[in-house]
Structure 1
Amino acid sequence: MVIPTYNEVENLEWIVGRLRAAQPGVDVMVVDDNSPDGTGKLADRMADADAAISVVHRTEKAGLGAAYLNGFDVALKAGYDVIGEMDADGSHQPEQLHLLLDALRTADLVIGSRYVPGGSVVNWPLQRLALSRGGNLYVRLLLGIKVKDATAGFRLFRRSTLETIDLGSVLSTGYVFQTDLAYRTVTRGLTVAEVPIEFIERERGDSKMSGQVASESLKLITRWGLSERRARLRRGRNRP
């Protein structure tokens, strides 16, 4: 599991400990964006004590997507056949990872979804929940995909999926990265499965999501959607 971090010293040991207890056979890769609070140093100490934990140190905070791309590249080169994502803040519960692992038997990408039947969100204000649900509806309508929670960050990819969607051409570095990879997976004819999870708002530390981040994500999604619609019109006109 790839876990990106920036100033998560209050949460890292707690969440990785839960993950190692819930799934002892799963290796953990912490990708730290040079956290000034000492998260990277804590991750190094954890790696020294547990061979299943590794650390990738980045030189700057360059966005969630950039951290994941770095981690995916390292994991692919190391030969892993299954590569996952999860947050360091406790919003994704390691005890539910088995649900994603089970679903991966018949899917190319599995998403732990808040918005399929059985999924839920705990301790979010109504405004943020409405923004998230509305954003996902916008994604479905504009991009024409059926994924209910395209912005979710609790995921498992097959190695073949990451190779097929061409990570080298991914330019999104922020939170829209999640939508980008889901969209790429669907449009390449691969299978996406969503399993219900309980998403819990962080109790410690500060969220990295902001209004500006959400706005930038919507702008990119709009650009992709309009580009896709233009492509569909061109294909329609070229049909005999």
Structure 2
Amino acid sequence: MSVRMILPSLFGVVGVTILLWLGLWQLDRLAWKEGRLTEISEKMAAKPDPLLDHFEKPYMDRNYLRVHFEGVMTQKEAHVLTSLKYSGQGSQSGPGFRILKEVVWNGKNFFLDLGFVSEARKNEDRFEGPVRVVGNILTPDDYDASFTPAPDLDKNIWFARYLPQMAQELGVLPFMVVVEQAEVLKNGAWVSFDDVTPLPVSVNIPNDHRQYAITWFSLATVWFGMTCYLLWRIRQRTV
């Protein structure tokens, strides 16, 4: 190898090594993310546990857990601006609001995410009283300090489910259960709660690590090829 080839060779080896390392790191992240998604899916599909068993657990342990409980809904609500895609005959769609209602349970009050109503139904009176719930504990990640507008407190319009601020404004705990099924007690009988369209929890965590890994490995291949071509050109000139 001539002296002129040493620097390009070193440059090529370092570049390929870094790109391969980045690709392998993305594969590690892919394995971690798939494991995390599997764990969340298992939590969401499990038989619902009593809320009492999980209320005091750390955030990461209780998030997405499927639970059931019986409490009392009050008149306090927070309305979070959202929209719903059309999903078939008779379904609601268009702009509207998520209704987060205060529920009192076991001496504690927190948020119950009831689901979606259209803009026209935002300020309707909704049921207050005993409720039975099956749902998932969730700490939402809707809020982004850089992009989420401040809420319009006069009109009770929020732009993200930012529990710390919402809890402070409504005087409840920063804790939430998203409704999957709900029944309310009317005239001495438990009936399905249909004032609001439920929006059950779904796993929307992006998992693009496979594509990232392919990108890094592709760049490593291109880098290697360009290095080989450069070394070939240098050798041709020195022969």
Greater fraction of residues in strand: 2
Q: Same fold per TM (> 0.5)?
A: no
Which of the pair has more CA radius of gyration? 2
What's the TM-score once normalised by structure 2's chain length?
0.20
